Amino acid sequence: MTIASGTVREAAIAAPAPDRTELPGRPRKRRQLTRNRWGYAYVAPFFLVFGAFSLYPFMYTAWVSLHETSLSNINGGTWVGLENYRELLQSEFFWNAARNTLTIGILATVPQLCMALGLAHLLNYKLRGRTFFRTVMLMPYATSIAAATLVFSQLFGRDYGLINTMLEAVGLNRIDWESGTVSSQVAIAVIVTWRWTGYNALIYLAAMQSIPGELYEAAEIDGASKWKQFLNVTIPSLRPTILFTIVVSTIGAVQLFGEPLLFAGNGTTSGGASGQYQTLGLLMYQQGWSNFHIGQAATTAWAMFMIILVIVGVNAVIGRLRARADR
């Protein structure tokens, strides 16, 4: 027993001490940080730019909306809390702009997405010169908002506009597109539809090309026509993409600014003589840069943000409900 215990003691003394860094329970966060330092260095510029030009203005606008301040004293002002929001909700100009924004958004979004879906379905076939047609459809999106709006304002001109000339050619009366409520909103919706239809069509086309061809082959074997295949195969497969385009188009409609600003040709921020096509974006600009009420402008901006949140949330709930129903 004595010899054996001595041998064990000597072997323990001669054995090297265990390396603590190799123990399985030792944290390795420092080594992981060292290993990933280049990854953090690569993504750091994005977060710096995002914080400086997105997050900070976002939070600063919220702070300004709680103050009564002007353009000359934007860093000062008097704390009023939610008083700006109460005044905004009681303002007839806000509800008029919200109503116009909703109307123009519906007039522009619904035909725009329907035409984009139809164009994408046509381009999905093996046509000659498909690349040319895709490029042509994207050209309106690449056109400047100012250039497109100024051209369309001339087309919708009351006295010398091409559209009124064509209406007279078929025996109809001229329309004062700028002064009428419905006519001005339809004209602005036409401009928005012209600019964004091709963009959404290419998004739908990319989604259509990812649909498995076996689904169309199975539908054709079952005797489904092209129209039935479009309704029962293409549309259900495009539901996530359609929901995405609806959300993006809705956000763009709420933020509509350039088209109504330049439609009158004089850059007025009132949205017409009676505000018949004044949108929330125009109202925010008018409050801040025409009336110099920066607090009210910031409040309007946050109201637009809340409207977008509500609309996106409703679309997300509808999408989830439809997904559960499909299961």
| Per-residue pLDDT at 60 exceeds 60 | yes
Identify the band that residue 266 occupies on the pLDDT scale cut at 50, 70 and 90. low
Of the ranges 18-27, 67-76, 147-156, 217-226, which one carries the lowest mean pLDDT score? Answer: 18-27
Q: Mean of the pLDDT values across residues 248-259?
A: 92
Q: Does residue 66 sit within a domain? A: no
Count of structural domains, the chain: 1
Tens-digit pLDDT profile for residues 218-252 = 998 888 888 899 989 999 899 889 999 999 999 99
More confident call, 65 vs 70? 65
Range with the lowest mean pLDDT among 76-85, 260-269, 310-319?
260-269
Helix 181-208 and helix 145-155: axis angle, to 10°?
A: 130
Which amino acid appears at position 137 of this protein? M
106 within domain boundaries = yes
**Token representation of residue 198:** 């091709």
Percentage of the chain surpassing pLDDT 70?
A: 87
pLDDT category of residue 21 using cuts at 50, 70 and 90 = very low
CB 219 within 8 A of CB 232: yes
24 in a structural domain: no
User: Domain for residue 272, yes or no?
Assistant: yes
In sequence order, the β-bridge partners of residue 67 are 79
Q: Would you say 293 and 94 are in contact if contact means Cβ atoms under 8 Å apart?
A: no
CATH of the domain at 307: 1.10.3720.10
85 in any annotated domain: no
Query: Residue 23 has what pLDDT?
Result: 46
For residues 10-24, average pLDDT: 48
Q: What is the pLDDT of residues 146-195, one digit of tens each?
A: 999 999 999 998 888 899 999 999 998 999 998 889 999 999 999 999 99
Question: What pLDDT is recorded for position 159?
Answer: 84
pLDDT in tens, 87-137: 999 999 999 999 999 999 999 999 999 999 999 998 888 777 778 888 888
- How far apart CA 192 and CA 174 sit, in angstroms, is 23
Q: How far apart are CA 95 and CA 109, in angstroms?
A: 21
Q: Using a CB cutoff of 8 Å and minimum separation of 24, what contacts does 121-124 make?
A: 121/204, 121/208, 121/230, 121/234, 123/201, 123/205, 124/205, 124/208, 124/209
pLDDT on residue 29: 61
Per-chain mean pLDDT for the chain = 85
Indicate whether 4 pLDDT > 50.
no
Asked if pLDDT for residue 3 goes beyond 50, the answer is no
**36/18: higher pLDDT:** 36
pLDDT at 25 over 50: no
Instruction: Grade residue 265 by pLDDT with cuts at 50, 70 and 90.
Output: low
User: Residue 8: pLDDT above 70?
Assistant: no
Q: Which two tokens stand for residue 94?
A: 């806000």
Full 3-state SS string of the chain = CHHHHHHHHHHHHHCCCCCHHHCCCCCCHHHHHHHCHHHHHHHHHHHHHHHHHHHHHHHHHHHHCCEECEHHHCCCCEECCCHHHHHHHCCHHHHHHHHHHHHHHHHHHHHHHHHHHHHHHHHCCCCCCHHHHHHHHHHHHHCCHHHHHHHHHHHCCCCCCHHHHHHHHCCCCCCCCCCCHHHHHHHHHHHHHHHHHHHHHHHHHHHHCCCCHHHHHHHHHCCCCHHHHHHHHHHHHCHHHHHHHHHHHHHHHHCCCHHHHHHCCCCCCCCCCCCCCCCHHHHHHHHHHHCCEHHHHHHHHHHHHHHHHHHHHHHHHHHHHHHHHHC
**Would you state the pLDDT for residue 194?**
95
CA angle 113, 118, 123 (to 5 degrees): 120
Q: What's the CA gap between 83 and 245, in Å, rounded?
A: 36
* Domain extent for 160: 90-326
Residue 293 lies in a domain: yes
**What is the C-alpha to C-alpha distance for residues 50 and 54, in angstroms, rounded to an integer?**
5
pLDDT surpasses 70 at 19: no
Residue at 311 is within a domain: yes
Examine residue 99 and state whether it is found in any structural domain, yes or no. yes
Give mean pLDDT, residues 62-88. Answer: 86
